[in-house]
Amino acid sequence: MVRTPCCRAEGLKKGAWTQEEDQKLIAYVQHHGEGGWRTLPDKAGLKRCGKSCRLRWANYLRPDIKRGEFSQKEEDSIINLHAIHGNKWSAIARRLPGRTDNEIKNHWNTHIKKRLIKKGIDPLTHKSPDHPETLPDKSIGHQEDDDQKSNNNKSLASPSARFLNKVARFGKRINHSALSIIIGSGGPFTSHTTPTTSASECEKSTSSSSTPNSSNLQMILDATTTPTTSTSTFSNDASAPLMYDNIFDDIDDMTGFSSRFLNDIVSHDDEDFLMLDESCSENTLFTEELTMILQEDTTETMFNDSHLKLINEVDDYSFEGIDNWFG
DNA sequence: AAATCGCCCAACCGCAGGACA
DNA sequence: ATGTCCTGCGGTTGGGCGATT
């Protein structure tokens, strides 16, 4: 079998698109939907290869594309997300509604990169050469390579932190304000995690003081039905850093979450954990940003009565029980 | 006014990987 | 199991355009 080339070399137009071509492409996609790019040019009467059509649509003609200058907020998000994802432009673009990967990539290469270099910050590592071991500014993230992450096992996540992670994911689904209350308060179950806590110590705490109870759950439940406030009655040990595992993978849609609040990445049991800066528990900026991010994402909220019933139906309040339920 | 330079960004290229026959 | 199709991704290119000489 011979693979047919993606684009017939002869007779295909290249270069800038004309208005007429754009109209043909728009009309075709509006009528037939996206996809089938390979056969689209013939059907739409375009002398372009399918790939070129797909790109033109995705990067320019799509109706939901936001054009114009990048706002300061968007730029901050790009820097933060780049610190986490590197040159994964599509991953970054997914967190910036209306912006395409191509657009972000261009903006990074032509503007942001240069600005970082000017500030003496390596755009690849987001670190300052003067202080290679520390980041010059928390607002530009905490990138670590895989080796570093895998070796960084000195700090381990407590079961309570894991539980909180589950709550965080669940909070996204049921009501975003719940999550901001929980996190803003420092979390209900964060009293035993320190950077030097051993795995066994973590496991030991599983069934003791960090075990959630019905009261805690009821508060989470209450949070889903009452407006967010900055106060909370959750207990909190200010010395304990909060940890949320895989927050950028598992809560992948938390668009624009600022990594400035994050301290470190640690690995435990094949899971990566992002440690929040200790000050987050008393950091209203953090709470505000998180709340804002979550509220922006309300289109995906699936808050309804069935979830409330479900949470009331949890009868196993051991960590494992809750963990399984949330899992 | 003309030539040159440098920047920006739309578009292209090659590759990778999942889906499918 | 294998090969092709199809799509998506990241890196690169080159044309347009404004700024500078």
Nucleic strand B within 7 A of Cβ A57: no
For residue range A25-73, list pLDDT tens digits in order: 888 888 888 878 888 888 888 888 888 888 888 888 888 888 788 888 8
Neighbours of A223 (CB within 10 A): 24
Average pLDDT over every residue of A92-118? 85
Residue A193 and residue A158: Cα distance in Å, rounded? 6
Nucleic strand B within 7 A of Cβ A61: no
Residues 8-37 of A near strand B (Cβ < 7 Å)?
Answer: 13-17
Amino acid at A189: F
A176 lies in the same domain as A216 = yes
Residues 93-152 of A near strand B (Cβ < 7 Å)?
Answer: 102-103, 105-107, 109-111, 114
Q: pTM score > 0.75 for this model?
A: no
Q: Residue A107 sits in a domain of what CATH number?
A: 1.10.10.60
Q: How many domains does chain A have?
A: 3
| Contact call for residues A148 and A272 (beta carbons, < 8 A) | no
A94 pLDDT exceeds 70? yes
A298 lies in the same domain as A258 = yes
Higher pLDDT, A30 or A315: A30
A110 lies in the same domain as A219 = no
User: Strand C: which bases are under 7 Å from protein Cβ?
Assistant: 3-12, 15-16
A189 lies in the same domain as A110 = no
Any domain includes A210: yes
Write the CB contacts of A120 (distance below 8 Å, at least 6 apart in sequence): A128, A129, A130, A136
Amino acid at A65: I
A56 lies in the same domain as A74 = no
Q: Domain residues for A51?
A: 19-61
Higher pLDDT, A257 or A156: A257
DSSP string over A35-74: --TTTHHHHHT--S-HHHHHHHIIIII-TT---SPPPHHH
Any domain includes A174: yes
Provide the CA A125 to C1' B4 distance, Å, integer: 36
Any domain includes A74: yes
User: Which of A119-128, A173-182, A221-230, A249-258 has the weakest average pLDDT?
Assistant: A221-230
Nucleic strand C within 7 A of Cβ A195: no
Residue A242 and residue A228: Cα distance in Å, rounded? 20
